[in-house]
Structure 1
Amino acid sequence: MTPPLRIGFIGAGANTRSRHLPGFQEIPGVVLAAVCNRTEESSRKVAQAFGIPVVAPDWRAIIDSPTIDAVCIGTWPNLHAELTIAALRAGKHVLTEARMARDLGEALLMFAEAQRHPQLVAQIVPAPMSLAFDATIVKLINAGVLGSLREVSVMCTNNTQVDSALPSGWRQDPQLSGKNTLALGIYYEMTLRWLGRGVTTLSADAAIFTPQRKNAQGEQQTMTIPERVTVLGRYADAARFLAHFSSVELTAPRNEIRLHGSRAGLRLDFITNQLWLTEAAGPERLVEIMPALGDAWRVEADFIASIREDRPVTLTDFATGVSYMRFTEAVWSSWNEQGRWVTI
């Protein structure tokens, strides 16, 4: 009989409550053992809602507990590196929320620590939007349907920061979010999955239109994380990368990734949640996602399978996390240096 696997939860935000806790509850032999959220009150609410027996006084109590086998980190990025490194050193498997860290330096420290403990599972929650389409996109690319890749085009715009009177959130706080900018990392991660490679050089331009905002406590803060950013990049094989992200557009939102090849193009529309294919000069047609290839959210099941069955982590391993953090860091460096081309 498989021994129970006991998980401690540090941070219990929306994604942990809606995804991780219910997901782990469904797996036989997995025990939700302890929780520590930002306040004791919020910890108790989560514990009561999910039948968790222990409310830990602080995160160290979870990591130091000899009865806990794995840690699920659901905090903001500012704690990901510290908690991950401490958990691995304590002999615990780690599932951490994305983004991997605040910056590349922290991500590299996490990766190095995971390399020192190859017997432990170290996994990052994957970008979820394309999960149902990933296998189909990779299959089409590998079958040569697109021909040679010419350009990757990413577009993600909305109006979430148009109102200058709105208070800043944690994503606009560099102490909490670091150099993570808008949805840069999460969209780049999806392209890494499909292509198996990233850009080798890039240039970025960014802007902050509301230089100061009040935070949740009513204190005026200077904004340092862009409200819009555009990235031009090049792959080693001469294919191009183009991405535009904005939170200050008043027009209808745009949310898609396009892959342009010499024979055909793919367009993944995240607004309608549909994948489209255009071959040669023909009309755009909907790509049917076969059920066997459309397996979507399996994060918790995959994490447990990696622990119990020694399966390699694919969605998402720390090496991939370092890759998207390296991209994010390069974009940050470029726009802060007037669009200087940065080699990754």
Structure 2
Amino acid sequence: MSTSTRVGIIGAGAIAMYGHIPGIKKHPHGSVVAVCDTNQERANALAASNGISTVYTNWRDIIADPNIDAVTVALPNALHAEVTIAALKAGKHVLCEKPLAMTVAQGEEMVATAHKEGRVLAINMSNRPRAEVQYMKAKVAEGKIGNISYAQGRMIRRAGIPGFGSWFTRKELSGGGALLDIGVHMLDMVLYALGNPKVSAIRGEVQAVHGPQRRGLGGWGSDRVMDGTFDVDDLASLHLRLADGGLVTIEVTWAVYAQNEERIQLIGDQGGFDFYPTLYGSDKPLRFYSDDNGSPIETIPTLPHIADGAGNVVYKRYIDAIRGTGAVVASGDDGLAILRLLEATYKSAAEKREISL
């Protein structure tokens, strides 16, 4: 490997522009050397604005480039498996956007290929490094809240649909809507903070309420088609039974007649965390509830400051893992575990029954 870990960006959309490229460039041993997108104009613009000299329009060409050590895959979900597997077989390390794949079968092949080829496969679970998530995870592991009774995660967007007809809203390209876009993050955050307990059963419901009516348009997405297909969910609710008896509820929406909201509650038999910036404010968003000699008490934990932002931790540790000096934030195996739950949620919703795992 060269002194610098040379990364190629596959997909020149918003996440590449605002996430992948600046994140990788912050690493002292990370460099972005090529961009690939089927849209030549967009690829050229992204490359030019970031001082990148090499541009491809076919992903097969960028993974064949011997001057590239690793890639990031920021493509529609339908392409994650094919491109990632090919890149791994070409000897490249891969950071893939979430969700890992469209199906569990695809995800299993991706993970197996990474292990076989001896390459790093990371998933962009960018919320894991957040200070409040890391704090809750550490305290749960210490036994601070005791045995888990109940946990809840909510990610509510008042108007967050990324276009009507963008790849996000076309099931053939995305595999699903709000559940796969933001539900994957909330589900992962809650289970990660709990220490990834075993899930024994799941019941899910999904709906398309506002998307089909062309309501709830958001500001995300670089190709926000306004008059195309919307055949995915914009609301999802999951109910998980943990093997140890605890219950977990996850609710997410792309659009709803309510204020934007993000909330995580982790409740045990000795204490409970409530992360609720909507109520408590962004400066001190976390509360810990417990008892002191039988009297209820509330404390405000002091959270560490993450200098470069939580999202950039993903890219730093991706480069570290490639260089053998650290571990990724979320591995292919981690992504596969969440994908199993997402697939079970859709199965439960379609069959209107609880799915045992």
TM-score normalized with structure 2 length: 0.86
State the one-letter code of the partner of 2:243.
Answer: A
Alignment pair present for 1:235 and 2:242: yes
Distance 2:26 2:140 in 1: 35
Distance 1:147 1:108 in 2: 34
CA contact (8 A) 1:146 1:264 kept: yes
Alignment pair present for 1:136 and 2:151: no
Partner of 1:171: 168
Match of 1:321 among 325, 330, 335: 335
Could you list the per-position Cα deviations for residues 174-210 of structure 1 after superposition, in whole angstroms to 9, with x for gaps in the alignment?
A: 1221135432211111123222224220112232235
Report the secondary structure of 2:125's partner residue: coil
Unmatched 5+ stretches in structure 1: none
Report the secondary structure of 2:199's partner residue: coil
CA contact (8 A) 1:129 1:270 kept: no
Distance 1:55 1:35 in 2: 5
Could you list the per-position Cα deviations for residues 21-56 of structure 1 after superposition, in whole angstroms to 9, with x for gaps in the alignment?
A: 122223334332211123111111111111111111
Q: CA deviation at 1:20?
A: 1.9
Distance 1:233 1:71 in 2: 34
Alignment pair present for 1:341 and 2:354: yes
How many residues are treated as equivalent by the alignment? 336
Alignment pair present for 1:278 and 2:289: yes
CA contact (8 A) 2:272 2:289 kept: yes
Match of 2:227 among 218, 221, 230: 218
- Name the Cα RMSD after superposition: 2.6
CA contact (8 A) 1:199 1:241 kept: no
Map 1:1-344 to 2 at 5 A: 3-118=3-118, 120-128=119-127, 131-160=130-159, 167-179=164-176, 181-182=178-179, 183-194=182-193, 195-209=195-209, 212=212, 216=225, 218-219=227-228, 221=229, 223-271=230-278, 272-273=281-282, 274-280=285-291, 282-291=296-305, 296=310, 297-309=312-324, 311-313=326-328, 315-338=329-352, 340-344=353-357
State the one-letter code of the partner of 1:136.
Answer: Y
Distance 1:116 1:33 in 2: 26
Report the secondary structure of 2:296's partner residue: coil
CA contact (8 A) 1:97 1:125 kept: yes
Q: CA deviation at 1:263?
A: 1.2
Distance 1:12 1:279 in 2: 47
Deviating more after overlay: 136-145 vs 276-285: 276-285
Q: CA deviation at 1:70?
A: 0.8
TM-score normalized with structure 1 length: 0.89
Q: CA deviation at 1:295?
A: 7.5
State the one-letter code of the partner of 1:275.
Answer: L
Report the secondary structure of 1:200's partner residue: strand
State the one-letter code of the partner of 1:113.
Answer: T
State the one-letter code of the partner of 1:64.
Answer: A
Distance 2:89 2:171 in 1: 27
Deviating more after overlay: 91-100 vs 172-181: 172-181
Could you list the per-position Cα deviations for residues 154-186 of structure 1 after superposition, in whole angstroms to 9, with x for gaps in the alignment?
A: 122232279xxx734432211221135432211
Distance 2:307 2:145 in 1: 19
Distance 2:94 2:77 in 1: 14
Overall identity of the aligned pairs, in %: 25
Distance 2:57 2:208 in 1: 39
Measured at CA, do residues 286 and 211 of structure 1 come closer, stay the same or move farther in structure 2, by a change above 3 Å?
Answer: closer
